[in-house]
Amino acid sequence: MNPTSLTARKANLVSCHVCHLLSRAATTHCPRCGSSLHQRKVNSIARTWALLIAACICYIPANVLPMTISSTLGSKQTDTIMSGVIYFIHSGSWEIALVIFIASIFVPLIKMFILAFLLISIHFRIRWKPRDRTRLYRLTEAVGRWSMVDVYVVTILVGLVHLGALANVDAGPAAFYFAAVVVITMFAAESFDPRLIWDVMEQ
């Protein structure tokens, strides 16, 4: 960013976090929607760190505990996310295995890494490629919800395969933790204020 560029902060303007209306910085509440106005999201860094740490904690049981519990004629089988991926690979369904791996393992993990990288870069006031870091944030914000595909699959299986003593599929404890990871990382991305990336450039 050019140091001489006019920004909203330099122009004494503040954007509403709800309806994005620009108002004078002296205004305490948005004249359009009534929300409180702040130059930056309040406690953005601390809140994002807290949510990110919580997501990292939930990520471990989400991948270690069974996602599904299948019972067929009295015998039970438990499958984690990774064991499900391996099963589809061995059965020749590479496409399904790839979708589950990307959506359920790779995307949540890379999203947490990106958020941690952005937070660390702000903490150390790194000026490296702010435009690319902003794009990383937008990517993280956009793809987060697609990680829920594994939960959708489990929900469909539980609803369809319910044949009493013959065959049953039940959701395992990992489903709760995995859903928590997805939801918490979505809140973490929402709590993060990407304008903090550019503040160091302006200063």
Over 60: is that where the pLDDT of 3 sits? no
In terms of phi and psi (left: phi > 0; alpha: psi -120 to 50; beta: otherwise), the region of 73 is left
Tell which wins on pLDDT, 58 or 17.
Answer: 58
pLDDT band at 150; cut points 50, 70, 90: low
Q: What is the mean pLDDT of the chain?
A: 80
pLDDT band at 167; cut points 50, 70, 90: low
Q: Which of 194, 2, 183 is nearest to 108 (CA)?
A: 183
pLDDT band at 75; cut points 50, 70, 90: confident
DSSP for 39-89 reads SS-TTHHHHHHHHHHHHHHHHHHHHHS-SEEEEETTEEEEE-HHHHHHHHH
Q: For residue 174, what are the β-bridge partners?
A: none
- Report pLDDT for 153: 65
| CB contact at 8 A, 171 and 68 | yes
Over 80: is that where the pLDDT of 48 sits? yes
Neighbouring C-alpha atoms within 13 Å toward the C-beta of 75: 2
Q: Give the pLDDT mean for 96-118.
A: 86
Reading the block at residue 188, the tokens are: 């973490």
